[in-house]
């Protein structure tokens, strides 16, 4: 009931926002009619793998399944960087959701919430505080995005994506990084500071707090488990700390550099240079008024 109430409040916020800027009709039509038509598309969206050393990971939920389809459709349409696809179930995917994933991405592996603990328990034993957080603190659902990809994939490079992203161009910077040997880690830069709280009232330092986990690309050797252990030992588990995944990546990745804020955007307007736009919470309505509107022509809907 509480989740439904929160979802209703968000929807009312988006409707009021689109009414204020004169985009309520396009929001309503695209979200409730056009967007759902993607589920009836006849073609497979995935493309042949271009980099056998790369895996791509998205954590998703039942509520966002339609967004996931549009996001991945746009990614495969534009990206020349294609690796093995893993879809991580947050625990809410229903049978029909999984059927849609397999319909459009038949080579994808769906990772169930309990898979990590069942299959990699002994490896997690090496990092007791990380295992404790992943198993015991179920309120931190986004830990499935931070911890699971490293263990379930044996690929050299991991690309972590959110499902509220629309891709407009090939991510050449990521392609070039992989081609050069991929020794650096990259994350998007956010508009707001990550508010993860540590024990004693400490917070993330500014240098790390503005990283955003909408897009994360790294060589698995750069995920520093010594630093991750330090991170989890410092986290105040009594706090909400919703964005624990992006704080964990920012804290735990070696050789970390920001992606271009103009090309990999959270705040700039979509223009001819934009590679992708991350339609985070306050801008979620634009996923439909802008992203779906620009993409629908390619699906002829």
Provide the CATH number for the domain around residue 43.
Answer: 3.90.550.10
Q: What is the rounded distance in angstroms from the CA atom of residue 17 to the CA atom of residue 10? A: 10
Instruction: State the DSSP string of 163-222.
Output: SSEEE-S--HHHHHHHHTT--SEEEEE-SS----BBGGG-B--HHHHTEEEEEEEEEGGG
Quote the pTM value: 0.95
Which residues lie closer than 8 Å to 58 by C-beta, 6 or more apart?
68, 71, 72, 86, 87, 88, 160, 161, 162, 163
**Structural domain boundaries, residue 265:** 2-299
| pLDDT tens for each residue of the chain, 301 residues long | 667 788 888 888 898 999 999 999 999 999 999 999 999 999 999 999 999 999 999 999 999 999 999 999 999 999 999 999 999 999 999 999 999 999 999 999 999 999 999 999 999 999 999 999 999 999 999 999 999 999 999 999 999 999 999 999 999 999 999 998 878 999 999 877 777 889 988 888 888 999 999 999 999 999 999 999 999 999 999 988 888 999 999 999 999 999 999 999 987 788 889 999 999 988 999 999 999 999 987 776 6
Tell me which DSSP letter residue 147 carries: T
Number of domains in the chain: 1
**Max CA pair span of the chain:** 55
Look at strands 276-278 and 165-167 and give their pairing.
antiparallel
Closest C-alpha among 214, 226, 225, 291 to residue 258: 214
């Amino acid at each position: 009931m509480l989740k439904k109430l929160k979802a209703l409040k968000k929807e009312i916020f988006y409707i009021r926002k689109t009414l204020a800027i004169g985009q309520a009709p396009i929001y309503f039509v695209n979200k409730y009619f056009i967007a759902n038509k993607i589920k009836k598309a006849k073609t497979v969206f995935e493309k042949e793998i271009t980099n056998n050393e790369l895996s791509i990971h998205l954590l998703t939920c039942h509520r966002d399944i339609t967004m996931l389809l549009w996001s991945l459709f746009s990614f495969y349409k534009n990206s020349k960087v294609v690796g093995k696809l893993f879809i991580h179930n947050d625990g809410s995917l229903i049978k029909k959701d999984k059927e849609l994933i397999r319909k459009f991405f038949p080579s994808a592996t769906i990772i169930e919430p309990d898979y990590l603990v069942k299959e990699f328990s002994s490896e997690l034993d090496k990092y007791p505080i990380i295992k404790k957080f992943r198993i015991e603190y179920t309120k931190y659902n986004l830990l499935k995005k931070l911890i699971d990809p490293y263990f379930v994939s044996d690929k050299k490079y991991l690309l972590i994506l959110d499902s509220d992203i629309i891709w407009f161009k090939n991510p050449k910077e990521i392609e070039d990084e992989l081609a050069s040997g991929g020794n650096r880690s990259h994350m998007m830069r956010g508009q707001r500071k990550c508010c993860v709280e540590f024990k004693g009232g400490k917070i993330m330092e500014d240098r790390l707090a503005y990283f955003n986990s909408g897009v994360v690309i790294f060589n698995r050797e750069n995920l520093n488990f010594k630093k991750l252990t330090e991170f989890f030992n410092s986290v105040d588990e009594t706090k909400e700390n919703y964005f624990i995944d992006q704080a964990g990546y920012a804290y735990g990745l070696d050789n970390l550099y920001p992606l271009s804020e103009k090309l990999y955007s959270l705040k700039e307007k979509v223009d001819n240079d934009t590679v992708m736009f991350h339609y985070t919470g306050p801008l979620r309505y634009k996923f439909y008024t802008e992203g779906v509107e620009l993409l629908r022509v390619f699906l002829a809907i």
